[in-house]
Structures are given as C-alpha cells and as structure tokens.
C-alpha cells in the first residue's frame, strides 16, 4: 500500500506555496494601502497630486531624495504616526523635536534661538552679514537717510533659567560670545545699534510681568512696549521728527490668547491638553484720536520700520494674538506720528529690504530707517543676508492699474520652506516668467515677477512645485494693491528689484 504524502488529503495535493502566497498578498496590500489612501485623499480634497511630481524633474539623486522627503512630509498616515510618536515622546521623555526644545515648567523654546547663544565664537564677525548691513547703511547714507539697527533677543537669551536650573543669573543674558564684538565693529563703522538685551534682562528682575510668552517665540505685550518706549526715546533724542506734527493717540484694551507658535510646531494631537493650555494676555490697540479707528501705516512718514514677526505679533490678526497693538503701533504711540512699515514674518534680514528696494522712489522723504530683526538670525543657517542695493530713483513699469493677463514660461521658481519647519503657516513665493504673450492689459518688459501662495495652513501649494519651462496663463494685478499680504513670509530667490511684482488671481496650464 502506497503511503500518502503529508501534503495530500482525500486525493488532493495541498500546495506548500499557499502560505507564501497569502503572506505576499498581505504584504502587497499593506504596501499599497498607504499610497492609495494618500491618492484618494488628494483627489477628494482637490489637492495637487504629488505623485506626479516625480515626472516634473530630471531624475538626479538630489531630486529623487527631495521627492522622497516631500512624500514623507505630506503623507497623511505618516503625519498621524509622527503626531502620536511626538505625544509619547513629550509625555514620557520631555522631548521636543528638531525645532522645539521643552524647558522647565511648560516653557517651550525655538531651537535656533538656543543655537544662537551656543554657536562658536566669531562665527559671524565677517562675511555676508557684515556686508549686507554695511552696504545697506552706505546706501541710506548716500541718500541722506539714517539707520538704527534693532537686533531683538530671543526668549532663550532672557529666560535661560527655564532651560536649565544650572544657569546662574549672575552670568547675565545668554548671548553669543561674539555679539558685543560684532556690534562694536558696526558702531565703529558708524552704524547705530540699539540692542535691547540688557534692557529686557534688567527689567526681568524689576517686575513680575512676563517679557516673553512661554509657548511662543515672541515677546509679551509688556516686553514689546518696554522696547518701543526705549526706541521712542532714542528717536526723539536724535531729532529726526522735531518738525513733524504730533498727535495723541488713544488705546483700548483687549484680552487675546492662544497656545503659541512653538506649541504648534510640536504637532501634538488636539486631545493633548493636560500639560499645555492656551495662554492669555492683555493687549492695547492703538487708535486714531478723532475717528477711533486703528492707526495704519503711512508711506509718507519720515520714519520707516523694517521688521519681522517680532514687529507683526499683536499687530497682524493672522498671528493669533490680536491686531493693531504691536511694536509699530506702540512706537507710533510713543512718537505721536504714524510710521511707514514693512514687516515680513521670517523676512527681517533680507525680504523687508527687498520689498523696500522694489518701491518706486523708496527713500523719498525718509529721514530714518529702523531695521528690526531677530538676533538668532545672526547665526542661523536658514537666515538669508543678501546685499540689496537701494535704487536712488525708480520709474514704475508702464502698466494698467487693472488686471493683466499673460502667457508666461517659468524661468525661476523660488524654494518654499517645508511646512512646520518654520514658525509660520503661510508663505508667498516669487516666480520669474518669460513673457510669451500679453492677452489683455499693457505690459512692456520681456520678463515678469508673479507672486503666488507657496504655503497655506502649513500645506504646500502648487506653486511650490513649479518647474522651469512650464507654460502658464496668468491673470494678475499689482501686488501693492494687496496690503493684507505685506506681512506674510515669502520665498524670493529672484534677486530682481527692478520688475514690479504681480499678485496672481488665477492661473492654469497653457497650451
């Protein structure tokens, strides 16, 4: 009698490959589930299909790695996993992420602010930063305009004791060892530097009021007002506004609150409210004495303030801390005059100067420029310090004041930062085009600058992925008729200060 094989039952052979086939199918389903889920989500929410980005660039190693990084960053499932991982990392180990350091008693710190204090000495005494500042100062002096630098310290500089109990207050503020030497070099060259670090450090020991927001990168209303008062005294002593008519603004109080931008960068689940809670502060909105309306920037003012998010907080409602109660408004309150203001989130070092350079007759009637930027930008590798030449005069390009419709070929697309790698949720991006044809309106130059949303709600927009050679049909109007965009962070790699930028109202691929 022939004995049956172990794989035979009732005359039928059982294939030993069945378990392998089953495991392969399960593995394939697991692999395919993530991209299919991502694709369906993008289709349902009408987002651009990032899967097609692979075919928009030359398949170099750098481009392929960048494509992989963007897939990981924008993956819905990946985000959920990162969120849960960060939750337990924060709860169990008191750890933040590459941008956030969790300090004592629930204080959160922006890592570049800590890196500024610990960067190697003499790391920025020469090079791009000094050239950018000295060139700007020389440009202003040539046109009879003075400059005050206002390098604003970060929270880690004023409150290092919330990072470590071992920090001795006798050591003073936590500044980079090269800071004073660098500022001395600038002062010796004739640049007026007003560093509020000692003011804020000394104020900390005199008051119970917080000077910086524990879960935010920026100062509190109280800290901001103390610096505004000091800058106001400096301007009044300098005589720049002696002959300018003054008025007495009034204020109204309002309570505002939110978690804070550093908390947002932790990307914790919405349910995590045991350790962190929204913080509230009282702001003072600055109002016109006769109308009661909030004061507004005045381009005819003899004093212009260039700044970043330290200027915009409490001033721009989009930052979540109220409006018309920020540094520029309170400096106006001290001086009794309106200011001209160009303040761009993340753009205190270069973008604000580029915006000024693009204005027609940018410095006409100006007596003083106050240039506010975060001190952390002196050492951060992400900060940009371009030499921006201020034109002595500028004739606007001939154009209609209404809408302009053109067909253009992309010559250069600026690099938009990755979402949640910066403490801002929005970013504009500048794209340079070759003008193929003008369908409506009047436009003479052969090239144009178009401005799009590059990021909104911490999501990259289609313009962030534009590639050289793409042909688009653009419906636009001048960017300067959209003052609501003045404060938004921007990506601008064009280095073109002669073309007038246009805001894109509608766009699409052109045949």
**pLDDT confidence tier of residue 480, bands split at 50, 70 and 90:** confident
Q: What's the fold here for domain 404-509?
A: OB fold (Dihydrolipoamide Acetyltransferase, E2P) (2.40.50)
Q: Are 268 and 90 in contact (CB under 8 A)?
A: yes
Lowest mean pLDDT among 3-7, 297-301, 403-407, 507-511: 3-7
- Specify the higher pLDDT residue, 246 or 89: 246
Q: Are 431 and 484 in contact (CB under 8 A)?
A: no
Nearest to 511 by CA among 412, 432, 409: 409
- pLDDT value for 395: 46
**pLDDT confidence tier of residue 358, bands split at 50, 70 and 90:** confident
DSSP string, 172-195: -S---TTHHHHHHHHHHTT-EE--
Most confident of 56-70, 111-125, 302-316: 302-316
**pLDDT confidence tier of residue 80, bands split at 50, 70 and 90:** low
For residues 258 and 314, give the distance between their C-alpha atoms in angstroms, rounded to a whole number. Answer: 12
Measured from the Cβ of residue 100, the count of other Cβ atoms closer than 10 Å reads 22
- Specify the higher pLDDT residue, 248 or 85: 248
- pLDDT value for 162: 95
Q: What is the mean pLDDT of residues 344-354?
A: 93
**pLDDT confidence tier of residue 399, bands split at 50, 70 and 90:** very low
Q: What is the mean pLDDT of residues 151-168?
A: 95
Joined tokens for residue 254: 């309002």
Lowest mean pLDDT among 5-9, 30-34, 187-191, 212-216: 5-9
Find where tokens 């630098």 sit: 149
Q: With b meaning 16 or more CB within 10 Å and e meaning fewer, what string describes 166-199?
A: eeeeeeebbbbebbeebbebbeeeebbbbbbbeb
Residues of the chain above pLDDT 90, percent: 61
Residues of the chain above pLDDT 70, percent: 81
* Residue 138 predicted with pLDDT over 50: yes
Burial of residue 488, with CB atoms counted within 10 A of its CB: 0-12 exposed, 13-18 middle, 19 or more buried: buried
Q: Are 330 and 224 in contact (CB under 8 A)?
A: yes
* Residue 173 predicted with pLDDT over 70: yes
Backbone angles phi, psi at 354, to 5 degrees: -65, -40
Average pLDDT over the chain, rounded to an integer: 86
Give, in order, the Cα–Cα distances in Å from 276 to each of 197, 216, 281.
Answer: 28, 12, 16
For residues 447 and 436, give the distance between their C-alpha atoms in angstroms, rounded to a whole number. Answer: 9
Q: Are 309 and 297 in contact (CB under 8 A)?
A: no
Q: Are 217 and 262 in contact (CB under 8 A)?
A: yes
For residues 386 and 222, give the distance between their C-alpha atoms in angstroms, rounded to a whole number. Answer: 33
Give the dihedral sign, CA 338/343/349/354: negative
For residues 41 and 78, give the distance between their C-alpha atoms in angstroms, rounded to a whole number. Answer: 13
User: Cα 22–26–29 angle (5° rounding)?
Assistant: 140
Strand-pair category, 490-491 with 501-509: unpaired
With H, G, I as helix, E, B as strand and everything else as coil, classify residue 233: helix
Q: Are 357 and 393 in contact (CB under 8 A)?
A: no
- pLDDT value for 271: 58
Nearest to 276 by CA among 100, 420, 156, 421: 100
User: Quick one: which H or E segment has residue 473?
Assistant: strand 471-478
- pLDDT value for 126: 59
Q: What is the mean pLDDT of residues 105-114?
A: 93
For residues 80 and 401, give the distance between their C-alpha atoms in angstroms, rounded to a whole number. Answer: 46
Q: Are 406 and 474 in contact (CB under 8 A)?
A: yes
Q: Which residues, 6+ apart, have CB-to-CB distance to 17 below 8 Å?
A: none
- pLDDT value for 437: 95
**pLDDT confidence tier of residue 310, bands split at 50, 70 and 90:** very high
**pLDDT confidence tier of residue 404, bands split at 50, 70 and 90:** very high
- Specify the higher pLDDT residue, 35 or 183: 183
**pLDDT confidence tier of residue 398, bands split at 50, 70 and 90:** very low
With H, G, I as helix, E, B as strand and everything else as coil, classify residue 164: coil
Q: What is the mean pLDDT of residues 109-133?
A: 83
Q: Are 320 and 281 in contact (CB under 8 A)?
A: no
* Residue 155 predicted with pLDDT over 80: yes
- Kindly give the residue spans of alpha helices, DSSP state H, lying in 189-308: 197-204, 221-238, 261-266
Lowest mean pLDDT among 87-91, 291-295, 304-308: 87-91
Joined tokens for residue 23: 């495991």
- pLDDT value for 484: 86
Domain residues of the chain, as ranges?
100-378, 404-509
pLDDT tens, 432-467? 999 999 999 999 999 999 999 999 988 899 999 899
- pLDDT value for 424: 85
The pTM of the whole model exceeds 0.85 = no
Backbone angles phi, psi at 176, to 5 degrees: -65, 140
């Amino acid at each position: 009698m022939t004995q049956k094989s172990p794989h035979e039952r009732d005359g039928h052979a059982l294939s030993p490959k069945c378990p392998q086939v089953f495991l392969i199918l399960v593995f394939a389903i697991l692999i395919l589930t993530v991209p299919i889920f991502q694709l369906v989500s993008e289709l349902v929410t009408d987002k651009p299909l990032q899967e097609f980005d692979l075919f928009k660039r030359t398949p170099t190693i750098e481009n392929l790695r960048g494509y992989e990084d963007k897939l990981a960053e924008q993956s819905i499932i990946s985000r959920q996993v990162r969120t849960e991982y960060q939750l337990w990392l924060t709860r169990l180990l008191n750890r933040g992420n590459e941008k956030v350091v969790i300090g004592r008693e629930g204080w959160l710190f922006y890592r570049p602010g800590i890196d500024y204090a610990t960067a190697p000495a003499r790391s920025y005494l020469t090079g791009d930063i000094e050239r950018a500042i000295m060139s700007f100062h020389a440009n202003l002096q040539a046109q009879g305009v003075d400059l005050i630098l206002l390098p604003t310290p970060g929270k880690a500089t004023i409150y290092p004791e919330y990072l470590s109990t071992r920090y001795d207050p006798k050591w003073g503020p936590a500044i980079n060892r090269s800071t004073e030497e660098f500022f001395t070099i600038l002062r010796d060259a004739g640049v007026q530097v007003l560093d509020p670090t000692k003011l804020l450090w000394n104020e900390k020991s005199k008051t119970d009021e917080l000077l910086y927001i524990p879960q935010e990168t920026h100062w509190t209303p109280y800290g901001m007002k103390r610096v505004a008062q000091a800058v106001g005294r400096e301007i009044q002593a300098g005589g720049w506004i002696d002959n300018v008519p003054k008025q007495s603004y009034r204020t109204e109080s309002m309570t505002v609150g939110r978690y804070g931008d550093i908390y947002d960068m932790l990307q914790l689940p919405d349910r995590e409210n045991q350790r962190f809670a929204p913080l509230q502060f009282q702001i003072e909105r600055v109002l016109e004495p006769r109308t009661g309306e909030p004061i507004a920037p005045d381009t005819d003012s003899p004093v212009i303030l260039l700044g970043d998010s330290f200027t915009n907080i409490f001033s721009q409602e989009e930052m979540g801390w109220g409006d018309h109660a920020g540094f520029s408004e309170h400096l106006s309150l001290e001086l009794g005059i309106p200011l001209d203001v160009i303040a761009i989130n993340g753009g205190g070092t270069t973008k604000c100067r580029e915006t000024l350079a693009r204005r027609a007759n940018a410095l006409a009637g100006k007596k003083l420029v106050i240039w506010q930027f975060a001190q952390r930008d002196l050492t951060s590798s992400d900060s940009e310090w371009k030499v921006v030449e201020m034109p002595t005069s500028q004739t606007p390009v001939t154009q209609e004041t209404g809408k302009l419709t053109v067909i253009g070929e992309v010559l250069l697309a600026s690099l938009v930062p990755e979402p949640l790698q910066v403490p801002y949720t929005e970013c504009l991006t500048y794209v340079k085009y070759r003008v193929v044809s003008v369908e409506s309106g009047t436009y003479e130059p052969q090239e144009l600058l178009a401005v799009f949303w590059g990021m909104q709600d911490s999501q990259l927009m289609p313009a962030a992925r534009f590639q050289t050679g793409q042909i688009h049909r653009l419906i636009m109007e001048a960017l300067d008729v959209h003052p609501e965009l003045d404060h938004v962070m921007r990506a601008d790699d064009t280095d073109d200060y002669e073309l007038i930028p246009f805001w894109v109202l509608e766009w699409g691929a052109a045949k």
